[in-house]
Structure 1
């Protein structure tokens, strides 16, 4: 019985410290994201892509693609501004643990097994801008799928920063029905290379 009580106390303590650590990270990222309408623009863009892809009338489809260019431009500008602002965060606070599950203060105790969120957000900023510029020389369908993958991966990084890789991947699957591995395969090759070099996947 004493063993079970000890295990329960240790487990409760780990959960409590982990929750506290995650709340600090959520508050930090939320402070920056709250300044920019990134989530709203992202949702509007994805819904617009899905509407365009499902449109059978060519003229109406072209009109939707054209209207979405403004949203793409706004999203690029807003995410660039976010990435620039977040780059000012002190390095220790910007570290993300490569351990799949959450542990309290893991980035402090195992700094060598972490990566810098500031650098990854810069990769996402560049990738989103590149995907937006691809409209003139790539089919709209291809562009839409690439951009959505880039946005899903960026969102995964946000959830990973706040919680853990396991939670981020689970949310990606629940929200967009897209496995993490599939999203990685769907982003642009240069994104996959730069992201992989930082994250180690």
Structure 2
């Protein structure tokens, strides 16, 4: 009975620490996002792309996609500005754990399992800019497909930073009915290769 009570108390204490840690992360990112309207613009794009796909006539699909040009550029600009804004934070504050679960303050005692969220945001900013500018010369539907994936991956990274990788995976599957691996396969090759390099980056010392 005493063992069970002790384990319960440990579990409750651990949960409290995790929630406090995650609230701090949410508040940190929220302070930077407050200057932008990313969530609203991204919702407009993802819903709009879905609507365009369901249009029967290809000409109508293209017409719908063309209406989002300004919103796409706004999103790309704001994510670039967010990445620049986050540079004001310390490496310690911007660290995020690579383990599936939340490990509070891993950046202090186990930096090898953390990565720099600031660098990840710059990868997203570059990837969005690459797709929005259509440097690969895709047709409009292919471009919209890749841009949707870029947006999904960006959302995933924000949820990962604020909560954990497993929570980010679950939210991606729930909100967009797609797995993280599929999203990663669907972004531009430039984003995917930079993202994978970021994942493999080793950190051996505390910030």
TM-score > 0.5, shorter chain as reference: yes
TM-score when normalising by structure 1: 0.95
Matching residue of 1:164: 164
TM-score, length-scaled by structure 2: 0.92
Q: Which residue in 1 is equivalent to 2:76?
A: 76
Q: Which has the higher helix share?
A: 1
2:55 is aligned with 1:55: yes
Partner of residue 42, structure 1? 42
User: Shift of the alpha carbon at 1:175?
Assistant: 0.5
Q: How much does 1:135 deviate?
A: 7.7
Gaps of 5+ in 2: 202-207
Query: Take 1:119 and 1:178, find their aligned partners in 2: how far apart are those partners?
Result: 25
Note the 1:96-115 alignment, pairs <5 A. Answer: 96-115=96-115
In the other structure, the counterpart of 1:122 is 122
Per-residue deviation at 1:107?
2.1
Shift of 1:200: 3.0
| More off after superposition, 53-62 vs 149-158 | 53-62
Q: Per-residue displacement from partner, 1:62-116 (whole Å, max 9, x unpaired)?
A: 3222211111111111111111111111110000011110122122211121100
Q: Name the residue aligned to 1:148.
A: 148
2:176 counterpart residue number: 176
Greater alpha carbon shift after TM alignment, 138-147 vs 53-62? 53-62
Equivalents in 2 of 1:106, 1:77: separation in Å? 32
Say how many residue pairs are matched: 201
